[in-house]
Structure 1
Amino acid sequence: MPAYSTWYSMHQNISPAAVETQSALAKDLGCDVIIVDDGWMTADRTRGYGHCGGDWEPLSLPETGKHVQRVHDQGTAYMLWYALPFIGWDSAVWDQFKPYALRNLEHMQAMVVDPRYPAVREYLVDRLVLAVEEWGMDGLKIDFVDWFATPDAPAPGPEADCEEVADGVERLLAAIHGRITAANPEAMVEHRQPYVSHGLWPYASMIRATDCPLSPAENRQRTVDLRLTSGPLAVHADMLMWHPGETPEQVGVHLINVLFSVPQISVDLTTQTAEQLEALRFWLGQFRSHREVLQLGQFEPARPELGYPMVQASSGETVVVARYAPLPVEVLATGLTRFLVANADHDTRVVLVGDIQGQLHATVQDARGRTVSSGMVSFELSITEVCVPTGGLLTLANRTSEGE
């Protein structure tokens, strides 16, 4: 289900009131999860990772359990961010874990600790699982797992119980996953590109496209790539953000570009215009109502060498096509009940081709979900054209499903 993330919208400026406000507004628009990112564990707002590791105390989220319960009362699940490999310079346990450093990161104000040591794994596990076991959260966003990779890793000392860093990482993730699912069998874990190996699948629920803010095309390519390699995991888009003055049409374009993944919204919902909110509500509604097709149907992206200018998914008698370039759309000739075309291109002339007998009913909605046209279209010459606004949706239906 669609999610809300605090990262681009709040960065480190986390507070219970801010989280609860965005959670309530996001829930009303169609999001079922909120993911609280960096900043919750420190009062420092200067960025860097000097305050990671240590006690992982929710300094910016006082009375954490009560706060989580208030979010749950809104009907929203709650996930919390952790930078797993890092012990920061300002951490209370810096000196304790300095002997277990894989490498120091001067520019990050932190070190990467070595998961080959049981003492390291036990400490990290005990800190991370507090979110689920004691604070009542629904899962963890586990970040920076790829930073454990150290080509020149030192030989492990006698306290280590495995030779390879990768083995230590797997043991660490398995221990975290085992503890949180024991506390909550439905507990979720987010990983992201580039740590998407099938070896990590047992310890994650979802994988997210790596950061690509303000780039709908890159978000599309990354999420489609992940759909083709994700195995049993849900694929999440990188968090969606846009300029405060963005048009609702472009908001629709952002959402259509990640139509075949789970969207994460990361704008301040209190500052959105009524038109932007209409576009959000409309498209998040499409993600929800067609999720069986979009996420679980037969997935057919076209032309990877061109960045997937058209993507299609189908399930049963429903087909959804997203159009990202001025290309003709082939409409199935048989077995059609509903055929949807989401237009993310600035060319509004959508050419439809297909050996269709008789007529189909065509409904066109703009990016805000308003119906702009409705009527019958004919494929007498195996081709027809329908005007679909940028960020809008065309729904073709046969006569039997016209009133559904």
Structure 2
Amino acid sequence: MLVDAATVLPHVTLLRLGPGTNLSTEPPTQVGVPVTLTAPAGAELSVRFEAELGDAVGYWHPSQGSMRTLPADWAGKLVTSLVHSAPMGALYNADGQVLFGWAADRPVDELTIRYGVSEEHKTFAVELHAAADEQRLQMVLTAAGGSVSEVVQRLAGWMSARIDTPALSAPTLATEPVYSTWYTFTQDISAEVIESEAALAVPMGCRTVFIDDGWQRLAVGRGYQGCGDWVPDPDKFPDLRAHVRRVRALGAGVVLWVAPLLLGTNSDAYADLAKYATQRRTPDDCFVLDPRHREVREHLAEVCLRLVTDYEIDGLKIDFLDTAMRYQGTPPVGDIHDVGEAMAALLGLLRTRLDQAGHGDVVFEFRQPYVSPAIARFGQILRASDCPADAVVNLRSTIDCRLLSVGQVVHTDPMMWSPNGGPEAVAQQIYAGMFSVPQISMRLADLPADQAEALTGLIGWWRDLAPVVLEGSIEVTGTERGYTTVRAVHDALGRAVVGVYAPVVVDLEADLPSEVTLVNATPASSVVVRTHTRSITAAVLRSPSATDVGAVSPSAADLVELPIAPYGTAVLTLS
């Protein structure tokens, strides 16, 4: 059924409702126009919006990955849930201004979304399909105007405000730089190796150690055929609790990896749980437990509680939750039929059990693509997806997460680099993730002296800037290119950080505070800034190792070329 689109938003050119779906609107708010969709029981709730394409160059959504530009409407398809993406998006132009944005109040339940350019109508379309048992869906549609970062954060806040339970508060441990074992050792880890590396990592500034895959029995060959029992390998970790205590005595918290949904055929648990795991994860030689079964949720909550209590860990890195989406669209089983709702029930049960046992402050790390604002009530850390040594993807992923996160602390994917790359290789990785908490995964005992010095200096540099880059307001440019500049401004501290990731002129706008740290995250030997009405009264230059290497004379010129070394920085004082 076609509806007069102009009654909803002036630049919405077409609005089609599915059979039985009804629409009503409310007066505009600061976020946009509230829209309520309803459908009778048994009827699919569906709607299609088409907005003016204008001068659009890209479409931002939580699962965009490397596809930053405009897909065709026959190509863009996504099913969202608590553990996969989130129902929202924003169409924007080359100036980074949003032309059309939307969000729906279904960050938990499964929702099918089609999106992209309509070849026939020369418009941008968004089409939603809810399950037949969903009789009501609330949306908000934004008018043109506002930057990508502003609009995305407003839409994420709108979704979060419709969730009954607030986001968990993040403890200090969530904001501490991390030493991760994964890329360094993969599954070849032991208590002795981790303790020796932790003794080096803590003085460098890492205050948390993430013990990744490999600690558990039957963890060999990069596969998951042994997952399911979640007990320590007796040869690698003869006394895991004592090991955790020794690492904590060095000055680091300990977070333990677990993939609770994975069930390997070699595990002792397989015989009892196989009937609840009908979907096979072929590349990793394991099955996926179906969270729609009450028995699965009870078992996994007990497993995770046991890990926390038995080994006195500070947190869990909970991996592969998105594998639950393998059951999306399969015949209903168990007591909860929707995968997203089942995962919410599982995580809620686990949090309740931890609270009852006196461990309510335990940290959970979640990883892209489970980035829904609704998941912030279960976990305090949101990490970028796997991208070993890929600074481009780490930047893109962490900023995507920063714009979407509500209350969570964003972490980088663990950083690794070539030992032969010099300090610049270290700086390139740190700068890519500097608007989030850095995770480091290099064998520190074997790190060349110049890189060890650079890593120590850069982690100290990041710790000094942490209040600005983690708590400041974020603005971006070049979204369609994976972000060419990113800036964080903390007005109360009078400080700002601007990361430059492409050879562009950087505008030092009037709203910037007097202290600006300018980061040259490129191989260029200078950065050009446009001062507008500002003057540079002082500038201290720093090397890729974060050591002072010189200064720049004051300048009142409109365009200034600052001789910042490749992967170096400058601290500017503006008047």
TMscore range, shorter length: over 0.9
1:68-91 CA-to-partner distances (Å, cap 9, x unmatched) read 111111110100011121110101
Q: Which has the higher helix share?
A: 1
Structure 2 residue 512 is matched with structure 1 residue 338: no
**What is the identity, as a one-letter code, of the residue corresponding to 1:324?**
Y
SS class of match (2:554): strand
Q: Counterparts of 1:350 and 1:105 in 2: how far apart (Å)?
A: 48
Of the candidates 220, 244, 247, which is equivalent to residue 422 of structure 2?
247
Name the structure 1 match of 2:294. Answer: 118
Of the candidates 68, 83, 101, which is equivalent to residue 277 of structure 2?
101
Of the candidates 287, 304, 324, which is equivalent to residue 479 of structure 2?
304
How far 1:257 moved relative to its partner? 1.0
Structure 2 residue 560 is matched with structure 1 residue 388: no
Structure 2 residue 328 is matched with structure 1 residue 151: yes
In our comparison, the structure showing a higher alpha carbon Rg is: 2
How far 1:261 moved relative to its partner? 0.9
Identity %: 32
1:21-78 CA-to-partner distances (Å, cap 9, x unmatched) read 2222111111111111111002542121011112434533221111111111111010
Q: Counterparts of 1:105 and 1:163 in 2: how far apart (Å)?
A: 21
Aligned residues: 395
Taking the TM superposition and a 5 Å limit, the aligned residue runs for 1:285-300 are 285-300=460-475
Of the candidates 121, 125, 129, which is equivalent to residue 305 of structure 2?
129
Q: Counterparts of 1:37 and 1:187 in 2: how far apart (Å)?
A: 17
Q: Counterparts of 1:194 and 1:359 in 2: how far apart (Å)?
A: 42
Name the structure 2 match of 1:76. Answer: 252
1:107-166 CA-to-partner distances (Å, cap 9, x unmatched) read 32211112122221221111122222121100100000000112342331xxx3222232
Contact kept? 1:363, 1:394, Cα under 8 Å: yes
SS class of match (2:254): strand
Contact kept? 2:419, 2:451, Cα under 8 Å: no
Of the candidates 175, 190, 193, which is equivalent to residue 365 of structure 2?
190
Contact kept? 2:412, 2:436, Cα under 8 Å: yes
Deviates more, 1:217-226 or 1:127-136: 127-136
Structure 2 residue 346 is matched with structure 1 residue 142: no
Contact kept? 2:414, 2:438, Cα under 8 Å: yes
1:192-219 CA-to-partner distances (Å, cap 9, x unmatched) read 0111112222111111111111210111
Q: Counterparts of 1:334 and 1:206 in 2: how far apart (Å)?
A: 30
Contact kept? 1:332, 1:354, Cα under 8 Å: yes
**What is the identity, as a one-letter code, of the residue corresponding to 1:92?**
D
Unaligned runs of 5+ in 1: 400-404
Name the structure 2 match of 1:402. Answer: none
Taking the TM superposition and a 5 Å limit, the aligned residue runs for 1:347-366 are 347-356=524-533, 359-366=536-543
Q: Counterparts of 2:237 and 2:567 in 1: how far apart (Å)?
A: 38
Unaligned runs of 5+ in 2: 1-175
- Name the CA shift for 1:145/1:358 in 2 (closer, same or farther; >3 Å): closer
Q: Counterparts of 1:164 and 1:353 in 2: how far apart (Å)?
A: 53
Name the structure 2 match of 1:88. Answer: 264
- Name the CA shift for 1:360/1:172 in 2 (closer, same or farther; >3 Å): same
**TM-score with structure 1 setting the length:** 0.93
Structure 2 residue 351 is matched with structure 1 residue 177: yes
Q: Counterparts of 1:124 and 1:212 in 2: how far apart (Å)?
A: 28
1:169-203 CA-to-partner distances (Å, cap 9, x unmatched) read 11111122233344333210011011111222211
Name the structure 1 match of 2:406. Answer: 231
Contact kept? 1:133, 1:180, Cα under 8 Å: no
Taking the TM superposition and a 5 Å limit, the aligned residue runs for 1:202-241 are 202-241=377-416
Q: Counterparts of 2:177 and 2:463 in 1: how far apart (Å)?
A: 8
1:204-252 CA-to-partner distances (Å, cap 9, x unmatched) read 1111111111210111011111111111111111110011212111210
Taking the TM superposition and a 5 Å limit, the aligned residue runs for 1:366-385 are 366-379=543-556, 381-385=557-561
SS class of match (2:313): coil
Of the candidates 315, 326, 334, which is equivalent to residue 503 of structure 2?
326
Structure 2 residue 343 is matched with structure 1 residue 166: no
Name the structure 2 match of 1:268. Answer: 443
